[in-house]
Amino acid sequence: MDYIGGRGFAARILWEFMPPGADPLGPDNLLVFAGGPLSGSAVNAGKIVVAAKSPLTGGYGDGNIGSLFATNLRKAGFDGVVIRGVARRPSYIYIENGRGYVLPAEALWGTTAGVCERRLKDVYGKGSGVICIGPAGENLVRYSVVLSQEGRAGGRPGMGAVMGSKRLKAIVAIGDMEPPLAEPREVKRLFTESAKDIKGKEGYPFWVRQGTMMTIEWSQNASVLPSYNFREGVFEYWRMIDGYSMEAAKVAQRSCPICVMPCGNVVRDYEGALAELDYENVAMLGSNLGIGHLGYVAKLNRLADELGFDTISLGAVLGFAMEATERKLLRDGIEWGDHRRAEELVVDTAYRRGLGALLAEGVKRMSEKLGGGSHEWAMHVKGLEISAYDCHAAPAMALAYGTSPIGAHHKDAWIIAWEVRTGRFDYSEAKVDKLIEMQRIRGGIFETMVGCRFPWVELGFNLEWYLKVFKAATGYPITFDEYYEVADRIYTLIRALWIRELGGWSVEMDIPPARWFKEPLAKGPIAGSKLDYEKYLWMLRKYYEKRGWDERGVPRESTLRRLKLEYTIQQLSKHVNIQP
Ligand code: SF4
């Protein structure tokens, strides 16, 4: 109950069993696949967390992925899988009803994610659950991901590269056992009840039509749509890539398993091949690159899914390369909006050819190599590229990126909608409180129970329901306060893990790039807006205080003891002076 499952399980395993200072791409790093008590049993909980020390950031990395692999793993009798070492030759793991086998994968090595999965399903049947990597993971691209079911992806901070470094191409799971549940009938009843409730919500029909693609219009109206490497929050061709353009091109709908509100929008790209779109990938591979044609964006997205890239980081890397070309820091680079050159570079990056070898390293390392003041517009925090919300006029969202436990990702606290609605220009303690509440729910509850947040976030599904199903699944009642303490424990443990792995800490690690503080927006209704550095620091210090961390962002001894993390003190003391 101290860590629950998913992210909590992964962070604890990494602290305990990974040698401090392990090479992220070496044999000592651990690749953890961790389900939670809801995995495979509750609505929208066909998901699993994948975590490891990140080759992109050098700190803790994780993500979650919707896949039959998640549901089948539990049916095969496992809550998770931990992989250590390096295989002598390309391999895959086959798991069936309580047993696992390591098998040769020479015939799969080099294939795209889609081909790899289809070949394994030909062997093990359509009902088998497969997760795998593409060529980008094999070639250790630092922001490669783990993929499944032609469009599902997880593990932004290079979990695909960690898998590739172990020469592990795929894992297949099959099982016909029932996941162990304290009250199986009650879990089933709650499933039926929640599915009916969700499908009856007012926003349901529109969600099924557009899914997260509806956010393009919202972001444009709110001036937060990343455009031209986050220079601007509005894009002149936004209508060409919005949810309605997507609807006109839509040919099918996909979803994670046991989902009752599918959001995978499948369109044809400009060459006629199928691609799955969502807000993040369309914004980062569209407006952020100056590409205003959905068919072009779809092609880039298809390449990313086949080759195994995180689409957010890929969009940030290409945007950075376009700006570096404009500023003459990069020769033979890429111009804004050049989708054909972008396609070439995506393929070259997957195989680390030519300029692709530099792009494979991610924005932070590219900036360090190119110099010329590019660190000011290298859009990342802690080395992880920023996801698709511009923060020139959104200090709480900037703080969410600054303090996310994996680097600049919106998963833990998508506070921007609330912030835009309630007063986007304020710097207040109320915003810090709201941010921590969101991190506790999204990064704590959902990442440890392991389920999709969208019923609650997008349709207003009752959060209390998750505590009910938790009790029915595990037999243990839990209150929000108790769960928040678990979330706080995991956040502080992850911070300790970062400090241990980086050998220290500085406040700069929690601050977003200079662009948002120095270069005001030039276009749109809030032109002239930019963040205030001193006020951001004030909010960050408040955040530290409320988390029980000192003014450097290092957990205090009293906090570590209160959260039952005494076991971290000895190792942390080697790197930082821990304050009482
Ligand atoms: S809403 Fe979307 S992300 Fe969530 S479970 Fe369904 S398909 Fe997956």
Please indicate whether residue 454, judged by its CB atom, sits closer than 6 Å to ligand 1: yes
pLDDT for residue 569: 98
Q: What is the DSSP string of 488-503?
A: HHHHHHHHHHHHHHHT
Instruction: For residues 51 and 29, give the distance between their C-alpha atoms in angstroms, rounded to a whole number.
Output: 10
Please indicate whether residue 262, judged by its CB atom, sits closer than 6 Å to ligand 1: yes
pLDDT for residue 116: 98
Q: Is the dihedral of CA 342, 344, 345, 346 positive or negative?
A: positive
Instruction: For residues 23 and 35, give the distance between their C-alpha atoms in angstroms, rounded to a whole number.
Output: 25
Please check the confidence at residue 43 and state whether its pLDDT lies above 90. no
Please check the confidence at residue 295 and state whether its pLDDT lies above 90. yes
Residue whose CA is closest, atom 4 of ligand 1?
452
Please check the confidence at residue 208 and state whether its pLDDT lies above 90. yes
Query: What's the gap in Å between 167 CA and the centre of ligand 1?
Result: 29
Please indicate whether residue 279, judged by its CB atom, sits closer than 6 Å to ligand 1: no
Rounded percentage of the chain residues whose pLDDT exceeds 90: 98
Mean pLDDT, to the nearest integer, of 272-284?
97
Please indicate whether residue 66, judged by its CB atom, sits closer than 6 Å to ligand 1: yes
Question: Model confidence at 507, in pLDDT bands (50, 70, 90)?
Answer: very high
Question: Model confidence at 493, in pLDDT bands (50, 70, 90)?
Answer: very high
pLDDT for residue 416: 97
Residue whose CA is closest, atom 8 of ligand 1?
256
Question: Model confidence at 150, in pLDDT bands (50, 70, 90)?
Answer: confident
Please indicate whether residue 255, judged by its CB atom, sits closer than 6 Å to ligand 1: yes
Q: Looking at residue 60, what DSSP letter applies? A: E
Give yes or no for a contact between 260 and 452, defined as CB atoms under 8 angstroms apart.
no
* pTM of the predicted structure, to 2 decimals: 0.97
Please state the atom number of ligand 1 nearest to the C-alpha of residue 263.
2
Please indicate whether residue 443, judged by its CB atom, sits closer than 6 Å to ligand 1: no
Q: What residues pair up with 252 in beta bridges, in sequence order?
A: 266
pLDDT (tens digit, 9 = 90+) per residue, 519-578?
A: 999 999 999 999 999 999 999 999 999 999 999 999 999 999 999 999 999 999 999 999
Tokens of residue 317, six digits: 């890397």
pLDDT (tens digit, 9 = 90+) per residue, 475-492?
A: 999 999 999 999 999 999
Please check the confidence at residue 1 and state whether its pLDDT lies above 90. no
Alpha helices in 84-199 (DSSP H): 113-124, 135-138, 159-165, 184-199
Instruction: For residues 461 and 459, give the distance between their C-alpha atoms in angstroms, rounded to a whole number.
Output: 6
Mapped onto helix, strand or coil, the DSSP state of residue 52 is strand
Please check the confidence at residue 461 and state whether its pLDDT lies above 90. yes
pLDDT (tens digit, 9 = 90+) per residue, 432-448?
A: 999 999 999 999 999 99
Please check the confidence at residue 157 and state whether its pLDDT lies above 90. yes
Question: Model confidence at 151, in pLDDT bands (50, 70, 90)?
Answer: confident
Query: What's the gap in Å between 549 CA and the centre of ligand 1?
Result: 35
Query: What's the gap in Å between 532 CA and the centre of ligand 1?
Result: 36
Please indicate whether residue 44, judged by its CB atom, sits closer than 6 Å to ligand 1: yes
Query: What's the gap in Å between 264 CA and the centre of ligand 1?
Result: 7
Tell me the one-letter amino acid at 68: L
Mean pLDDT, to the nearest integer, of 31-51?
94
The single residue listed with the structure tokens 């243990």 is 476
Residue whose CA is closest, atom 7 of ligand 1?
255
Please check the confidence at residue 233 and state whether its pLDDT lies above 90. yes
Terminal C-alpha separation, the chain:
27
pLDDT for residue 349: 98
pLDDT for residue 179: 87
Choice from 410, 452, 457 to test ligand 1 binding pocket (greatest atom count within 8 A of CB): 452
What does the mean pLDDT of the chain come to? 97
Instruction: For residues 521 and 366, give the distance between their C-alpha atoms in angstroms, rounded to a whole number.
Output: 24
Mapped onto helix, strand or coil, the DSSP state of residue 80 is strand
pLDDT for residue 570: 97
Give 525: exposed, middle or buried? Use CB within 10 Å, 0-12, 13-18, 19+: exposed
